[in-house]
Amino acid sequence: MKTTIQPNGDQVIVSFAGRLDTAAAVETTEAVTPLLEAQNKEIILDCKDLEYISSSGLRIFLSIRKEAAAHNSKVIVRDINADIRQVFMMTGFISLFEIQ
């Protein structure tokens, strides 16, 4: 699992590549921790190269969303594949995030 964070003006783009499963969750949580303090930003979770997401990964996305709302930031999930879209639909995450 690889997580890349790229600030871009009023946006922060977080790119995920690989499998966001329980084994990768600790490392990914550490990587996204600086995001949790982002003020007035648009946080884009780029999932173009994300192959799989487990419940641990969903918890990370939910934590990002919760902290973003507390800091007047917005979260957008971009480029999820069909399998991950299905997981989002089954868990109700599809209604929690703006999906592009």
Q: Give the model confidence (pLDDT) of 61-88 as tens digits.
A: 999 999 999 999 999 999 999 999 999 9
| Alpha-carbon separation of residue 100 from 5, 16, 27, 79 (angstroms) | 18, 15, 26, 6
* pLDDT score for 37: 80
The range of the structural domain enclosing residue 78 comes to 2-99
CATH of the domain at 45: 3.30.750.24
Taking only the tens place, the pLDDT of each residue in 16-65 is: 999 999 999 999 999 999 887 888 999 999 999 999 999 999 999 999 99
| Alpha-carbon separation of residue 90 from 31, 57, 87 (angstroms) | 27, 15, 5
Count the domains in the chain: 1
* pLDDT score for 55: 95
